């Protein structure tokens, strides 16, 4: 167990078992509480609490005589289903728009504020320039998927606000405002949920989340949107295909985005 993590032992075990279930392990059933306690070096009561959390999410079933078995909600390969069809995506921007159209959104906040220093720098604006800040929660039929915070130069966001953001993806609203989207740069890391994000995403404080930072440019290379998103890793995946290119002594990996899976 990682004593340095700000997480209870039972929650660390829950995260590990949830990951293993998503990989298709334990098809014949999970080990018993005594065996799991030995593997993790904890008391049975700690294991029992982790299993109760998995059962509460519908990932396992605990039945007398059968032990603990995975449910159908934790298959080895989880296919993204939205309204009965898989989200087939061909690139980052298509991914963003498709996910926006295939999910429901709740606008938590939308206001024009002076740009914080980091936001102004990312958007190439003088510090304190007016920007539209919007905070939204996107959900699928299974529940909350992401908590997204965006900043857009106020001059580009004059034609839309809270009402429009509740109906259409931000990229579509920007294009309707005359912006021609060009490309985006994105970084993906990890973060533990704090009290606010945990509440919006319906997870426990300290749960692992995917953290995405994305800067979108127009076709002239000018920044038009800065985004910070927190995603539930059990409901969102981004896939890439890697290919080896180059001469035999200088081969490198080149990536191609395949798309996203979300459910």
Residue 188 in any domain: the answer is yes
**Kind plus residue range of the DSSP H or E element containing 47:** helix 44-56
Please tell me whether residues 250 and 122 are part of one structural domain: yes
Please tell me whether residues 99 and 38 are part of one structural domain: no
Contact 86, 98 (CB under 8 A): no
Residue 98 in any domain: the answer is yes
Please tell me whether residues 66 and 97 are part of one structural domain: no
Residue 78 in any domain: the answer is no
Residue 81 in any domain: the answer is no
What is the distance between the alpha carbons of residues 3 and 10, in angstroms, rounded to a whole number?
A: 12
Count how many domains the chain has: 2
What is the distance between the alpha carbons of residues 109 and 178, in angstroms, rounded to a whole number?
A: 24
Domain harbouring 154, CATH code: 3.40.1410.10
Q: What is the pLDDT along the chain (263 residues), one digit of tens a residue?
A: 556 555 688 887 887 788 778 767 787 788 999 999 988 888 999 999 999 989 888 889 887 777 888 886 544 333 333 333 233 333 444 455 555 556 789 999 999 999 988 899 999 999 899 999 999 999 888 889 899 999 999 999 999 999 999 988 888 899 889 999 888 888 888 888 887 888 999 988 778 899 889 999 998 999 999 999 999 988 877 676 777 676 666 556 555 554 555 44
Give the model's pLDDT for residue 34: 92
Residue 202 in any domain: the answer is yes
Give the model's pLDDT for residue 110: 96
Please tell me whether residues 47 and 115 are part of one structural domain: no
Give the model's pLDDT for residue 260: 53
Please tell me whether residues 111 and 231 are part of one structural domain: yes
Please tell me whether residues 115 and 62 are part of one structural domain: no
Please tell me whether residues 142 and 14 are part of one structural domain: no
Give the model's pLDDT for residue 256: 56
pTM of the complete model beyond 0.85: no
- Count Cβ atoms within 10 A of the Cβ of residue 21 and give its class: 0-12 exposed, 13-18 middle, 19 or more buried: buried
For 52, the 3-state DSSP assignment is helix
Contact 165, 138 (CB under 8 A): no
**Which of 42, 31, 34, 36 has the alpha carbon at shortest distance from 67?**
31
Domain limits for position 147: 92-262
Give the model's pLDDT for residue 258: 46
Give the model's pLDDT for residue 206: 77
Residue 215 in any domain: the answer is yes
What tokens does 113 get? 């504020």
Displacement of CA 257 from its chain's centroid (Å): 16
Residue 115 in any domain: the answer is yes
Please tell me whether residues 105 and 51 are part of one structural domain: no
What is the distance between the alpha carbons of residues 58 and 224, in angstroms, rounded to a whole number?
A: 41
Please tell me whether residues 61 and 97 are part of one structural domain: no
Please tell me whether residues 147 and 243 are part of one structural domain: yes
Residue 47 in any domain: the answer is yes
What is the distance between the alpha carbons of residues 210 and 236, in angstroms, rounded to a whole number?
A: 9
What is the distance between the alpha carbons of residues 244 and 250, in angstroms, rounded to a whole number?
A: 10
Please tell me whether residues 140 and 177 are part of one structural domain: yes
Please tell me whether residues 15 and 49 are part of one structural domain: yes
Using alpha carbons only, what angle is made at residue 27 by residues 62 and 35, rounded to the nearest 5 degrees?
A: 60
- Count Cβ atoms within 10 A of the Cβ of residue 83 and give its class: 0-12 exposed, 13-18 middle, 19 or more buried: exposed
Give the model's pLDDT for residue 75: 40
Give the model's pLDDT for residue 74: 44
């Amino acid at each position: 167990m990682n004593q340095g993590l700000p997480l209870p032992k039972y929650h660390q075990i829950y995260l590990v078992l949830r990951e293993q279930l998503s990989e298709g392990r334990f098809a014949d059933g999970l080990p018993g509480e005594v065996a799991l306690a030995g593997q993790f070096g904890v008391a049975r009561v700690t294991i029992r609490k982790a299993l109760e959390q998995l059962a509460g999410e519908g990932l396992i079933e605990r039945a007398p005589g059968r032990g603990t078995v995975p449910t159908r909600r934790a298959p080895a390969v989880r296919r993204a289903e939205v309204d009965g069809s898989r989200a087939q995506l061909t690139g980052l921007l298509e991914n963003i728009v498709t996910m926006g159209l295939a999910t429901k959104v709740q606008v938590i906040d939308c206001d024009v504020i002076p740009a914080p220093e980091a936001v102004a720098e990312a958007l190439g604006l003088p510090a304190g320039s007016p920007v539209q800040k919007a905070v939204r929660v996107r959900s699928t039929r299974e529940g909350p998927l992401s908590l997204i915070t965006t900043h857009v130069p106020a001059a580009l966001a004059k034609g839309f606000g809270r009402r429009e953001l509740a109906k259409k993806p931000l990229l579509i609203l920007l294009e309707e405002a005359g912006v021609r989207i060009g490309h985006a740069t994105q970084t993906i890391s990890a973060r533990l949920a704090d009290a606010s994000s945990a509440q919006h995403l319906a997870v426990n404080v300290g749960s692992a989340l995917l953290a995405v930072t994305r800067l979108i440019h127009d076709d002239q290379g000018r920044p038009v949107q800065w985004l910070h998103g927190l995603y539930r890793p059990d409901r969102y995946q981004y896939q890439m295909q890697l290919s080896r290119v180059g001469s035999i002594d200088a081969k490198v990996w080149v990536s191609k985005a395949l798309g996203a899976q979300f459910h």
